[in-house]
Chain A
Amino acid sequence: MTGHFARILIILGWVGAACGAQPPETAEFIAAIKNVGPEGRGNIEAAGAWKKLAAGDASTLVPILEGMDGANDFALNWLHAAVDSISGRVLGAGGSLPWSDLGAFLLDTHHNPRARRLDFELLAKIDPATADKLLTGMLNDPSMEMRYDAVQKVIDQASLLLSASNKAGATLLYQQALNSARDAEQIDGIAQKLQELGQPVDTLKLFGFLTHWKIIGPFDNTGRKGFAAVYPPEERIDLSAEYDGKKGKVKWQDYLVTEKYGKVDMNQPFGKLKEVTAYAATDFFSDRAQAIELRLGGMNSWKVWLNGKLLSGRDEYHFNSELDQYVMPAQLQPGRNTILVKVCQNEQTEDWAGDWDFQLRVTDSLGTPVFSTTIGPNTSANIARP
């Protein structure tokens, strides 16, 4: 990919002198801005530094973009606004931007993905046609936005072939798009197209939904108190245990996901109950310690634990749901990792308030599925593997 960019940029004469070091003052301003943190920490100092930074000329653009490396999300926004201010002023006055340096920055995929996207958009303002050509080589870019746009170009090309009745060509391009797509909605759209073309897609494997679960319930959720209540599975997962549930004894049972979007539907085993809570547990095996994301979707109140540690929770019901609705960064340990999900159903009786389910997958930070390596001895493991 990098070579592809380089060829285009060299042809266009964009790659020139290597980027220079940051001017000392620019570096100071950037450092002050990078100190911002939660709850407005560092805002006063950042505001002073920002005004000076934003008064810089076009030569400061790449140093600011470089300064985005290692910046937290608050600082990224301060720096983004500085880039907007400088580039807007320079272009508004008929000036030019440092193409060579911006091009070189774009080529280096080690830089912050958002900074590279911003850099790309500056280049696109000046030469949209070339920027569009560059996208062709960005199908596997670490920037989610770049990758999304690159995949969309392939989808658009496939659509054109389909309009010209070239089903074989369109199928090939859709498959190419599918290999690179990481946005759940985009993936789903491609999968549907392939389905229409007679190429069935196993969405369970494609997305990497966790499919093999042990579930237990129902426990009480009267008055929506179940979200905060601590039932035995939160204290210890003992798959042989039996507990007092809302209406009698409850024990763990197997649940195998068959729904194509990975839905763990508690209404299936327990019936359409109201004011209830249930748990689902599974083991996930990793061959190494690795940073992952747990991505959950659902309409109900929920909590998720990984290896006994609460990752996140949300106490709301029946508002909206989508794939990857909640993204929880986490760290897998080598070997066995136990995932526990609590999912609550409330008292609402409307037709649209019947869902009592969730879907969960494990991915890297871009959304690429991460699969369990082995089946666990005691619990049902996620064994989806392409």
Chain B
Amino acid sequence: MKYQPTNAPQPARNVRIVLLAALLLLTGGPLPAADWPQFRGPLCNGVSDESGVPITLDTNKDLAWKAELPGRGLSSPIIIGDRVFVTCCSGLKQQRLHVICFRATDGSKLWERQFWATGRTLCQSKTCVAAPTPASDGQRIVAIFSSNDTVCLDLDGNLIWFRGLGRDYPNASDSVGMSSSLLIAGGVVVTQVESDSDAFIAGLDLATGANRWKIERPHKANWTSPVLVGSGKQEIVVLLSSAGLTAIEPVSGKIVWESAGGGSSIPSATTGAGVLYVPSSRGLTALQLGGSDEQPKQLWQSSRLRPGTASPVVLGEKVFALSDGGILTCGSAVTGERQWQLRLKGPFSATPVAVGHFLYCVSETGVAQVVDTSKPEGEVVSELNLGETVLSTPSISWGAIYFRSDAHLWKIAKSST
């Protein structure tokens, strides 16, 4: 019931299927998922295993399309086959919630559904009600908003269920705005809703929206998103909060391990090669993951690697922390030792995404910067000013990178893609 890659854009899809099938035969490995089904992609780490994404960002040459959006949003686009899904909010007190589906190949709008918020919509002015990123299992998409309204639609926009979690559990919200993104695993939508006043993690049945399980969480404001690690029956969801880490079996909600000692409430944890990288007030901590029910072991902790709002990113043996002001710090993912720093044009809210050895970082002022991390001190090799405020983490799928602002969605891909 977990995410399954679906239809790819035509005509690229058929070519890719042949190539990927050949790759599978040659390597015996799994097919890489080119869809981007949730916040920070298939592996919740912002890293794409694709090639062909433009390194030189140039809208004159490689702008596939630019679509207008009806309202604000910090949520990332998610991409399933030839469909791009985006959430927005608009109207009086941001009470209009939008889920929009675009065709990936040409940017045409296929459908739009609107909902009225049933929960609180008050947010700090920098964020908005469409802050959390939706998730998909490849057949359905589930979107949540800061009002904790949660909606499940099929890929054609047919409504499968609606939950007003803000109405069901009204104290589980805060006046800054909620932002934890969804995960889908084991037929369950993992929904993390944590505030000072009330907090819970719930497993909503993907088919019906009903609570399969619901667990009380520490009453602490938390804007991080859960991370999925492992696979199959070993799949666990790791939650990060200021209280520490909690690992949950998604099907049952059973807590399989917990690790106190504090953690971040804004940047999320990330994974790479069986290691969990956890931001906190002490910097970054690397934890070796064992079996699904095994307590992780600390590998290192570094106070010199300090992510700001953006979550850390791991590329091979390098780990990256981006400060709010725009200092990109590269460290060793093996030892935590700081290697180099590079000043980017900030400030930043969005988490970088990566392809190959390139990091794509987009500033709040809409300046997208591509960093070649293979250079000794890192180097910005391309820059594109989108000209609008961008707080949303980009998405990568089928050779394209997507950026979204409060007003537009851009698809940038090599013109042959």
Which A residues form the contact surface with B (CB < 8 A)?
A: 36, 38-40, 43-44, 46-47, 50-51, 54, 73-74, 76-78, 80-82, 84-85, 88, 114, 144-145, 148, 183, 313-317, 319-322, 325
Contacts and interface: CB of A to CB of B under 8 A. Distances in A.
Interface residues of B, number: 38
Interface in B180-201: 195-197
B111 A85 contact: yes
Given A74-B164, A322-B122, A316 B175 contact: yes
Interface string B152-174: 00000111111110011001001
Contacts of A43: 161-163, 208-210
A81 B113 contact: yes
Q: Which 4 A-B pairs have the closest CB atoms?
A: A320-B175, A319-B175, A316-B196, A43-B161
Contact of B116 (A44, A51, A80): A80
A320 B122 CA distance: 8
B114 interface: yes
A262 B9 CA distance: 57
Interface in B101-155: 111-116, 118, 122-124, 149, 151
Nearest to A298: B175
Contact of B163 (A40, A85, A313): A40
Contact of B171 (A40, A88, A314): A314
A82 B210 CA distance: 21
A294 to B, nearest CB: 15
B158 A50 contact: yes
A73 B116 contact: yes
20 contacts: A43-B208, A43-B209, A73-B116, A74-B118, A77-B149, A78-B159, A80-B116, A81-B115, A84-B112, A84-B157, A88-B111, A144-B92, A315-B196, A316-B174, A319-B124, A320-B124, A320-B174, A320-B176, A322-B122, A325-B175
B209 A40 contact: yes
B162 A84 contact: no
B221 A316 contact: yes
Among A51, A73, A76, A145, the one with the most B-chain Cβ atoms within 10 Å of its Cβ is: A73
A80 B114 contact: yes
Contacts, number: 109
A96 to B, nearest CB: 19
Contacts of A144: 92
Contacts of A74: 118, 162, 164, 167
Contacts of B175: 316, 319-321, 325
A314 B168 CA distance: 15
B211 interface: yes
B153 to A, nearest CB: 8
A47 B160 CA distance: 5
Contacts of B113: 80-81, 84-85
B118 A316 contact: no
Contacts of A114: 116
A375 B161 CA distance: 50
Contacts of B196: 315-317, 319
Contacts of A36: 162
B304 interface: no
Contact of B158 (A44, A51, A76, A77): A51
A78 B151 CA distance: 10
Nearest to B98: A84
A88 B159 CA distance: 14
Contact of B176 (A47, A81, A88, A319): A319
Contacts of B122: 320, 322, 325
Contact of B118 (A54, A73, A183, A320): A73
Contacts of A322: 122
A51 B221 CA distance: 38
A74 B168 CA distance: 11
Contacts of A321: 175
Contacts of B208: 40, 43-44, 47
B327 to A, nearest CB: 24
Contacts of A85: 111, 113, 157-159
A39 B211 contact: yes
Contacts of B162: 36, 43, 74, 77-78, 81
Contacts of B204: 40
A314 B210 contact: no
A145 B209 CA distance: 30
A46 B211 CA distance: 17
A73 B91 CA distance: 17
Interface string B273-314: 000000000000000000000000000000000000000000
B13 interface: no
B219 A315 contact: yes
B92 A145 contact: yes
B103 to A, nearest CB: 13
Given A80-B115, A81-B159, 6 more contacts: A54-B158, A74-B167, A85-B157, A144-B92, A315-B197, A319-B174
Nearest to A184: B93
Given A51-B158, A74-B164, A40 B112 contact: no
Nearest to A186: B92
Given A54-B158, A145-B91, A77 B176 contact: no
Given A47-B159, A78-B162, A320-B124, A88 B92 contact: no
A221 B388 CA distance: 45
Contact of A40 (B111, B157, B210): B210
A144 B168 CA distance: 24
B71 to A, nearest CB: 14
A77 B208 CA distance: 16
Nearest to A148: B92
A88 B98 CA distance: 14
Contacts of A316: 174-175, 195-197, 221
A40 B114 CA distance: 19
A73 B92 contact: no
Contacts of A47: 159-161, 208
A183 B221 contact: no
A319 B197 CA distance: 12
Contact of B210 (A39, A84, A148, A325): A39
Among A36, A74, A321, the one with the most B-chain Cβ atoms within 10 Å of its Cβ is: A74
A54 B113 CA distance: 12
B53 to A, nearest CB: 32
A69 B413 CA distance: 47
B227 to A, nearest CB: 25
A84 B114 contact: yes
